[in-house]
Chain A
């Protein structure tokens, strides 16, 4: 362990203060919400939440989970996120592989198209998509899953493409000499080699779909298919009538937990991924 150089630390004190205040503020906010999620509405309003005089109100979570339908929203979000993560890989990984390996007619155009699509605002696409979905009679959960998959294709393809291009071609040459077909080489040899990139991109896709709000608001016609974001908004809007503040804060925690836990365990990977892909100076 290094000896602490107090002179040096003292010079850095303003720095510690700056980031310290910010982080303490964040922590206070989170702790308070957790405290409130175990309290009654009366305790929240009288500022008594951390005394727990009337005990821990775990039933807030049960109320939120059952009566306020958080279980439904949670299951929906899980369903949307998991299926779209798998679906988008099935579309993006093969394309990323061949785009990184061969020059061919239209390859460059496709690549530019994918990069451009990453910064197309969603508002430019929702109206035609809405009318197409009505015309083709696709709706509900199926529609949302399809949209989430298609929405994540450009980012996923470009991210994987960068990784495939770092792999040596000797793998394929060896496989070819052994009589392994192109698609088989891709599945059995190349895909396992980019596994770390697949994990990172899947974490990002998962969080992005889990937190998606705009499309969910437009394309979910009933509460039974709403994901967590839209569901939480509904809970808050009905707060006026229910007065269940503890239940609402419990719902906030339930919505917040999955991505937060993922982050606790994978923050290094996630942070490296944020600036690793598209962001270059």
Chain B
């Protein structure tokens, strides 16, 4: 008999394989091993409860097996079962025990037959999964209402339903040395850059993770760091289809309803599917609103503190007097007051987000009353400061994809403006520009086509949005953007 410690291949003795699996799944009550005798030959079917459909196993595997007559020759047994007894779409032979373990944990059933040094695996997944719902974080006015779910297979089907072309590819990969999380690299063959694809494969292979419980785990492996991410995230299949058509690569991760998109440009943070479904002039108007909202959210509180504290002469006289009067009635300097409001707001936002749904209404009311009314009427904070902080917060929600960097930028500009006045804000802005201009995503500059500048592209889909008649004539691939190192690949 083979030594169990050295066992890596399926043994021709079913008992040895059974012992191996039982040892591995010791104290795992979901492990199932169904022993049976097929024409006098011992066989065991292994599966994990909850991951497989017992009904499919009974009807499609156990019943046909029990009724069959196995050939006497050992070599013919597996071939006979595969060809004459079972007709599952997803079945294959496997001899590596470690691979069988991963397959078992992915919802496959494993059949070991005495005398055979290979096992047959069947795809009989039957775990419950949530149906497609409207994405909570990417609400659209006119777009489709279905969003990705936690099952990456369902997500692949959602993309395939919208892109009926054989050029659509889903390459399989795996991340997590413990979780063995399946990942699908989705792209359009002939459109996506081979160089970018190779980089994606290489980076996913280099993921030094034990577990990958969400798409966000992979983000840091796909980007070089910096304030703004070069990796996009979406919950919408229609968005993924639009992006891969422009040469981007999508990464679907099992267990998460968000799909990663690379390369991802800075201007894409301001684009939504609704922009392409409404009239061009309105889409351009909304886009400009978002650009303004971005700058308001990042700079307004810093500029307010800088001007109120250091350069009041920049304001019209009447406004300056109003602010000065409001400030004279509060105990704190304008920087401390705005910082206090900023942190209070962020705390309330976090509380509203994390509190149980039944409590979030209470949090909003308490927050609104405490900050909005009591603090001002008690003379703790001034109304202009409160208005500025509220305005910057609301403006930030116009560009939800940038909320995280914006909340930190706000704090940075607030401090810079408080300590160095308008100059501090300008130095901070120069730093921000340096960071943006120096960042890239898979060889494509993050700020393209604004910098490096290309007038045609900016007019097409950045400063405004051309009509579909014109957009349809363009063959704009992300790898061909100005400044890209992957141009023409």
* Binding partners A and B: no
* Contact surface of A with B, Cβ cutoff 8 Å: none
